[in-house]
Structure 1
Amino acid sequence: MLGLIAEPGLAEEVTRKIADQLPDLWEQEADKDGRPVGCWRVETVAQLLPLGSRGRLPLLRVGQERQERHGWDAVVVMTELPRRAGPIPCWPTLRPPTAWGSFR
């Protein structure tokens, strides 16, 4: 099961639209040998992501906590806020060993 965590508002609206489409898209996919990828279920949760004491979003902590609580195989956290490494904008944060990430 894939867990999608989205902040209420635009991120949640977009996430719910994506979640509705993903199972059908995955049914059409095949691996490199032509075998069906399989059937994934998608669960969407809306959650406020307040800034921590250092002015950062606790994306990794929230993703890991929800993954453990819901028994998800993978997690994606969606927010409208940009992520930066210093002055440089960043795209995804992926954690393959724990199967969760965040995209902005």
Structure 2
Amino acid sequence: EAVGSGRPNQGMAPETRGERVRTYRSEALIAEALAVSPQSYRLDIAGLPSGFMPLFAGGRNAFVPPGNQVVVHGGVSVEELIVPFVKVSYLS
């Protein structure tokens, strides 16, 4: 669950506009988004194509209208990194 912290008003500027992450191909545009969303952060992730710049909503925030509560998938959190594993076996 995440709480809205506002959505950078950039029209079609971002490549993708998710609730927890937005991606950019321009340094100027991602810098502009960081300026209006100070709780967000940029990560340079090894393996991503050059020119693909993700901007993540910080904490339990989302890029939705302020105060809106949303249930979302994505972002950088422990919950997104842990993958449950269930082993089912047959006992005779």
Same fold (TM over 0.5): no
Higher-strand-fraction structure? 1
Structure with bigger gyration radius: 2
Q: TM-score range by the shorter chain?
A: under 0.3
Normalised TM-score (structure 1): 0.25
Higher RCO (CA 8 Å, separation ≥ 6 residues):
2
